[in-house]
Chain A
Amino acid sequence: MVQKRIYQRRDLIRLGLLGGAGVGAGIALPQLVRYFQAQSIDIPTTTDAPPISGMNPMTILRDFDRGTVKQENGRTVREFRIEATTSTLQLNSAVNFVSWNFNGRVPGPTIRVNAGDRVRVIFLNRGGHAHSMHFHGVHAAAMDGIRPIRNGTATIYEFDAEPYGMHVYHCHVSPVARHIGKGLYGAFIIDPPGGRPPADEMVMVMGGFDINEDGKNELYAFNGIPNYYLEHPIRIRQNQLVRLYLLNMVELDPVLTFHLHANIFRLFRTGRSLQPDEESDVVTMGTAERHILEFSYALLGRYMFHPHQDVIAEKGCMGHFDVVDSTGRTGDAGSHAH
């Protein structure tokens, strides 16, 4: 109840309908509390997580692009520059895949804004083919990103970020499955007014690669490179809240699940609520479906995550969390259990 009242006030302030020191003081305290809480989030350092083909999935994991902030006519505008390009991804020691992508990486940049911000995306297509950027969320038809943007040309997408949640953007030029399968997608996060509680936040996008263009995926990955987090586990702190922004962008397979080992996560469907919708250790996701998952591990050790379509998991869509204590040790799985 208290929380809800704060959000109302924030909406009013955001719109410039309320002002004055009294109200300002009213919201200063929770902001301050949140600030200090955020300072307390302690992300373990990771060594030995090398880049592959010029992109690093370990960096992509916690990399949120909040754009260049401008104030125009009393409004916050977040400006992003996105370029469609082609680049070769070394998916494994034998497979080089010509990807079509945004800003040289698969998935594209994680675009993150606050509800109500004005979003301006300056999109340049240097990808050879016609491409576009279609954002999920609410916007005018003219901003829907269906119109192909010719190679060598640019366009500007501009809209208000609504509603808050975990969204997605992708190229919408036909055949869409090929354009997405080549890598033209990314996460689009709209934070709720007032934000979410502090956590170790990360983004994972599940993707599929049809390397021989036979209409079937031969390889899969979390964040672009098959098996990257299997070989380079994601280190997380014991008992610290993890907030996972999870997106399924696998084309050609109708549905995947996401399964987290030895834990139960809280699920916020499409990130559209501040209270969890349910708890589980498996969630089923169709293509372009996305959710926010929250969890923490009490016990040190190494834990897997993967779709429970195990054939898919074993073609590159698997990863590990290493749960470490405050000194950075995973301990022996089990012996630290208490």
Chain B
Amino acid sequence: MGFSSVRQRLFILPALLLSLGLLAGCSGQGAQTPATATSSPGTRKININSAILSELDKIEGQIGIPSLSNRIQAARPYASPEELVSKKILTQEQFDRVKDQVSVEDVELVGEAKDIDFMTKLGLMRGHLLVAKEWLDRKQPTLALPHIGHPIEEIYVDLEGQLDERKVKPFKAALQKLQVQAQFSANSPELTTTYAEAIQGIDSAMATLPNTQRKDPRFILGVISEMLDAAGTEYGAAISNGKVSARIEYEDSRGFVLYAQQLFAEIAPILIKSDAPRVKAIRESLNKLQTAWPAIEAPATPVMSVDQVRTAIKSVELTGQKVASF
């Protein structure tokens, strides 16, 4: 009896130490914890473990090493910022120049990086729903279901926290309605309306971003880079032993590239006035990339290898970055 009470008291101490540690050492562990939200925007750091490319580009710009952002991304994970040096991404001297700006704590994105991330996630949803539609049109609602589910299960949860501040009308219910109808009443004519409502929900979320961003080729190219990055990894997950072994991942990547094409089609007329050669280069790379997904039905043997797809993606990204530097 005396034993248990002593133990209980002893356990309070570690709990206290834990909470102190959380506040002092690793407050950033929770992007969810309010403690992180108090730092002023000027002192916000870039989380090298999770930052999107366009955010890492700020470091790249300061150090002046081409494609440093990609190298930082490829050498993840980092237990501490100093691992940028031990993993030979930066020299000690280069690291010292940026060390106040990098972190491994989960810091909320701010500014343009946050907006690109927001738009990308909505774009991924649109990509999922594009391929869902292809299956629905073929009267294959069961095959469409994973692509209706992913936006709810994997992506919406990531956006939920910023819907209020962006004054976005929540659209989870519209996605869920589509999911339920595809599952239980796919033959109902109402499905078409429900699909349109889901798309409408995503589009009105995008519309909360200012026009200056949504019509800005530089901004949209940032989004396209992120979308293609996601497509490349899904494609890599789809192929094994020279075959398309994971159908869902093949279809995911198809959807992401299709939507990236749509985004590009919207900015190309604007961009062509200032930079026609690069518009042509990006369009050619995208079209070449698109051949990897000849149809919603995965080909028996992949049209392009994973490496070929990655190379084509890289070429779009690099040209896009050059546009961005103007």
A interacts with B: yes
Measuring CB to CB, which residues of chain A are less than 8 angstroms from any residue of chain B?
Answer: 4, 8, 11-12, 15, 75, 79, 81, 83, 86, 88, 96, 98, 116, 118, 120, 122-124, 126-130, 140-143, 147-160, 162, 173-175
Interface of B, helix, strand, loop or mixed by DSSP: helix
**CB < 8 Å neighbour of A140 from B6, B18, B149, B155:** B18
Task: Give bound CA distance, A147 to B108, whole Å.
Answer: 14
B149 nearest in chain A by CB position: A175
Report whether B104 and A156 are in contact in the complex, using a CB–CB cutoff of 8 Å. yes
B170 neighbours in A (Cβ, 8 Å): none
Q: What bracket does the count of chain B residues touching chain A fall in?
A: 35 or more
A15 neighbours in B (Cβ, 8 Å): 10, 13-14
Report whether A142 and B32 are in contact in the complex, using a CB–CB cutoff of 8 Å. yes
Report the minimum CB–CB distance from A1 to chain B (whole Å).
Answer: 9
A98 neighbours in B (Cβ, 8 Å): 237, 240, 245-246
B63 at the interface (CB under 8 A from A): no
Task: Give bound CA distance, A323 to B15, whole Å.
Answer: 45
**CB < 8 Å neighbour of A148 from B6, B73, B154, B233:** B154
Pull 29 A–B residue pairs with CB atoms less than 8 Å apart, ordered by A: A8-B3, A8-B10, A11-B7, A11-B10, A75-B17, A83-B77, A88-B245, A96-B240, A96-B241, A98-B240, A122-B78, A122-B79, A142-B29, A142-B32, A150-B50, A152-B76, A154-B49, A154-B77, A155-B50, A156-B29, A156-B77, A156-B79, A156-B104, A159-B18, A160-B14, A160-B15, A162-B11, A162-B14, A175-B153
Q: Which 6 A-B pairs have the closest CB atoms?
A: A142-B30, A128-B237, A154-B77, A174-B153, A154-B49, A153-B50
Output the residue of A12, A15, A140 with the most chain B CB within 10 A: A140
B249 at the interface (CB under 8 A from A): yes
Report whether B73 and A152 are in contact in the complex, using a CB–CB cutoff of 8 Å. yes
Report whether B49 and A128 are in contact in the complex, using a CB–CB cutoff of 8 Å. no
Report whether B234 and A128 are in contact in the complex, using a CB–CB cutoff of 8 Å. yes
**CB < 8 Å neighbour of A142 from B3, B33, B230:** B33
B300 at the interface (CB under 8 A from A): no
How many residue pairs between the two chains, A and B, have CB atoms under 8 Å in the bound complex?
116
Instruction: Scan B217-255; emit 1 where CB is below 8 A from any A CB, else 0.
Output: 000000000000110011011001100011001000000
A173 neighbours in B (Cβ, 8 Å): 153-154
Report whether B237 and A129 are in contact in the complex, using a CB–CB cutoff of 8 Å. yes
Report whether A156 and B26 are in contact in the complex, using a CB–CB cutoff of 8 Å. yes
Known pairs A142-B33, A143-B29; list 12 more (Cβ under 8 Å).
Answer: A81-B79, A86-B246, A96-B241, A98-B237, A120-B79, A122-B78, A128-B234, A147-B32, A151-B230, A152-B233, A153-B49, A160-B18
B13 neighbours in A (Cβ, 8 Å): 15
Report the minimum CB–CB distance from A216 to chain B (whole Å).
Answer: 15
Interface of A, helix, strand, loop or mixed by DSSP: mixed
Report whether B29 and A158 are in contact in the complex, using a CB–CB cutoff of 8 Å. yes
Instruction: Scan B102-140; emit 1 where CB is below 8 A from any A CB, else 0.
Output: 001010000000000000000000000000000000000
A149 nearest in chain B by CB position: B50
Report the minimum CB–CB distance from A161 to chain B (whole Å).
Answer: 10
B26 nearest in chain A by CB position: A158
Task: Give bound CA distance, A159 to B50, whole Å.
Answer: 20
B237 neighbours in A (Cβ, 8 Å): 86, 98, 127-129
Report the minimum CB–CB distance from B302 to chain A (whole Å).
Answer: 14
Q: A162-B11, A175-B153 are in contact. Are A81 and B77 (CB under 8 A)?
A: yes
B240 neighbours in A (Cβ, 8 Å): 86, 88, 96, 98
A83 neighbours in B (Cβ, 8 Å): 77
Report whether A155 and B106 are in contact in the complex, using a CB–CB cutoff of 8 Å. yes
Report whether B153 and A154 are in contact in the complex, using a CB–CB cutoff of 8 Å. no
B249 neighbours in A (Cβ, 8 Å): 128-129
Task: Give bound CA distance, A81 to B78, whole Å.
Answer: 10
A82 nearest in chain B by CB position: B77
B33 neighbours in A (Cβ, 8 Å): 142
Report the minimum CB–CB distance from A307 to chain B (whole Å).
Answer: 29
Report whether B245 and A154 are in contact in the complex, using a CB–CB cutoff of 8 Å. no
B22 at the interface (CB under 8 A from A): yes
A147 neighbours in B (Cβ, 8 Å): 31-32, 157-158
Report whether B49 and A156 are in contact in the complex, using a CB–CB cutoff of 8 Å. yes
Task: Give bound CA distance, A129 to B10, whole Å.
Answer: 42
**CB < 8 Å neighbour of B241 from A8, A88, A157, A174:** A88
Report the minimum CB–CB distance from A4 to chain B (whole Å).
Answer: 5
B155 neighbours in A (Cβ, 8 Å): 130
Report whether A148 and B77 are in contact in the complex, using a CB–CB cutoff of 8 Å. no
A75 neighbours in B (Cβ, 8 Å): 17
Report the minimum CB–CB distance from B223 to chain A (whole Å).
Answer: 15
B48 nearest in chain A by CB position: A154
Task: Give bound CA distance, A210 to B85, whole Å.
Answer: 44
Task: Give bound CA distance, A159 to B15, whole Å.
Answer: 10
Report whether A79 and B79 are in contact in the complex, using a CB–CB cutoff of 8 Å. yes
Report whether B3 and A154 are in contact in the complex, using a CB–CB cutoff of 8 Å. no
Report whether B26 and A124 are in contact in the complex, using a CB–CB cutoff of 8 Å. no
